[in-house]
């Protein structure tokens, strides 16, 4: 509703320029790709700055503090100041670190998150590529995060970061299974993996009504996927200092941070798209509804963080394999049965 006209206007303008100066025709899609990439990267940057501020504010108010108050109105530009400080910091590498892996890990963590935003429908027509394997692509690409975290933990050559990386790998791999199984119910209902089509299929009723169990499993598994409390053992401060990212500083640390918060928004956006009707909503533009639903889930994750204590490693594993996985199968079975019988 908002993004689509702007993008098509930009395209028309660019096509006009290409035709006027007689440039090769492949300039048009190339320019489109660049514009899309810049839009998504800018969106993620602004989003993460806002999310960090929101996290600090929400956590502060839950603990009956005020949180950042000095920089700007209620500290709203505090994160910008923090980001500037992080950029200025010295970029250190431990002496015994595995240098190439150490240097590439933060970018390996951040890049898949950016790529995953390609298939998210932000609004009516505001989707970069509505792939026919959208959901599969999404989960396939975000799983690369595990490798980045493990690589970062390993390459730092520190026992804390290595333990954090191992724990993270075990956790992410375990929770990936119920996560995808919970999403399968939605795919069965919609009959497609195209995210745009899934949103269209929720025209009459949100899928959360047909898939309440699937939604609950998705939210729990997604919380574990993005390493939020109560599943934050990869970076358990009291045990591991900070997990896989202890040895990182400056811009590389900022990349891990960016990836973490962008991932948090990504799983929320996917939950909003798959279960809460995506950008569909009355009166207001689709972009507003998409952001509102996504931020509702983000707030839910933040409340989880300040409400629940951290699980032990064995509890975490048994919860995933003995509880969530059977439930996800049950959900799948019931959904399939109903679809066949109806």
Partner 1 sequence: MNVFRALGRVIKGTWWLFVGMVTTTKHMLRRSITIQYPRQRFEQWPRFRGRLAMVPDEEGGHKCTACAQCLRICPAACITLERHKEEGVKGFLVDAYVVDLGLCIYCGLCVEVCNFGALEMIPEYEISAYDKADFIYDIPKLLARQLEPEFKR
Site residues for partner 1 per CB under 8 A:
58, 60-66, 69, 303, 306-308
Q: Where are the alpha helices (DSSP H) in 63-98?
A: 78-88
d(CA 94, CA 320): 35
Nearer to partner 1, 133 or 330 (CB): 330
Specify the residue for token string 């400056």.
Answer: 250
CB of 274 to partner 1, least distance (A): 22
Kind and range of the H or E run holding 337: helix 325-341
CB of 307 to partner 1, least distance (A): 5
Nearer to partner 1, 16 or 326 (CB): 326
- 291-300 in b/e burial notation, b at 16+ Cβ within 10 A? bebbbebbee
**What is the Cβ-side half-sphere exposure of residue 62, based on CA atoms within 13 angstroms?**
15
Neighbours of 212 (CB within 10 A): 12
Nearer to partner 1, 188 or 334 (CB): 334
Nearest residue to 143 via CA among 183, 184, 185, 115:
115
Nearer to partner 1, 86 or 299 (CB): 299
Nearer to partner 1, 63 or 132 (CB): 63
Neighbours of 20 (CB within 10 A): 8
Nearer to partner 1, 64 or 203 (CB): 64
Contact partners, residue 116, CB within 8 Å, separation at least 6: 137, 138, 141, 142, 266
Contact 90/238 with Cβ under 8 angstroms?
A: no
Specify the residue for token string 């910008």.
Answer: 80
CB of 64 to partner 1, least distance (A): 5
CB of 158 to partner 1, least distance (A): 34
The DSSP symbol for 264 reads H
- Classify burial at 101, counting beta carbons within 10 Å of its beta carbon; exposed 0-12, middle 13-18, buried 19 or more: middle
CB of 212 to partner 1, least distance (A): 13
Nearer to partner 1, 61 or 89 (CB): 61
CB of 300 to partner 1, least distance (A): 9
CB of 207 to partner 1, least distance (A): 22
Nearest residue to 211 via CA among 275, 280, 294, 273:
275
Q: Is the peptide bond before 230 cis (omega within 30 degrees of 0)?
A: yes
d(CA 159, CA 156): 9
Nearer to partner 1, 107 or 308 (CB): 308
Contact 244/152 with Cβ under 8 angstroms?
A: yes
CB of 321 to partner 1, least distance (A): 15
Nearer to partner 1, 17 or 330 (CB): 330
CB of 315 to partner 1, least distance (A): 12
Neighbours of 35 (CB within 10 A): 15
């Amino acid at each position: 509703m908002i993004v689509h006209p702007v993008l098509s206007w930009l395209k028309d303008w660019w096509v006009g320029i290409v035709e006027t100066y007689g440039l090769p025709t492949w300039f048009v899609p190339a320019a489109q790709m660049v514009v899309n990439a810049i839009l998504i990267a800018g969106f993620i940057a602004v989003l993460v700055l806002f999310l960090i501020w929101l996290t600090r504010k929400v956590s502060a108010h839950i603990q009956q503090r005020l949180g950042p108050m000095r920089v700007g109105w209620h500290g709203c530009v505090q994160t910008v100041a923090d980001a500037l400080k992080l950029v200025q910091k010295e970029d250190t590498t431990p002496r015994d670190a595995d240098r190439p892996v150490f240097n590439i890990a933060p970018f390996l963590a951040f890049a898949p998150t950016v790529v995953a935003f390609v298939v998210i429908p932000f609004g009516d027509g505001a989707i970069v590529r509505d792939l026919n394997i959208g959901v599969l692509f999404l989960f396939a690409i975000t799983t690369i995060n595990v490798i980045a975290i493990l690589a970062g933990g390993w390459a730092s050559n520190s026992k804390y970061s290595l333990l954090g990386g191992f724990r993270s790998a075990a956790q992410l791999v375990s929770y990936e299974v119920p996560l995808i199984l919970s999403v399968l119910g939605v795919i069965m209902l919609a009959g497609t993996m195209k995210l745009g089509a899934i949103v269209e299929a929720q025209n009459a009723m949100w899928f959360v009504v047909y898939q309440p169990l699937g939604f609950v499993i998705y939210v729990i598994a997604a919380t574990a996927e993005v390493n939020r409390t109560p599943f934050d053992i990869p970076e358990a401060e009291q045990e591991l200092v900070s997990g896989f990212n202890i040895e990182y500083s400056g811009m590389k640390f900022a990349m891990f941070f960016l990836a973490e918060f962008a991932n948090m928004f990504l799983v929320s956006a996917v939950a909003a798209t798959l279960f809460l009707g995506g950008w569909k909503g009355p009166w207001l533009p689709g972009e507003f509804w998409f952001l509102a639903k996504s931020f509702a889930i983000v707030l839910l994750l933040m409340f989880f963080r300040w409400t629940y204590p951290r699980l032990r490693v064995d509890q975490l594993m048994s919860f995933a394999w003995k509880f969530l996985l059977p439930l996800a199968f049950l959900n799948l079975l019931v959904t399939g049965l109903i679809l066949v019988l109806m």
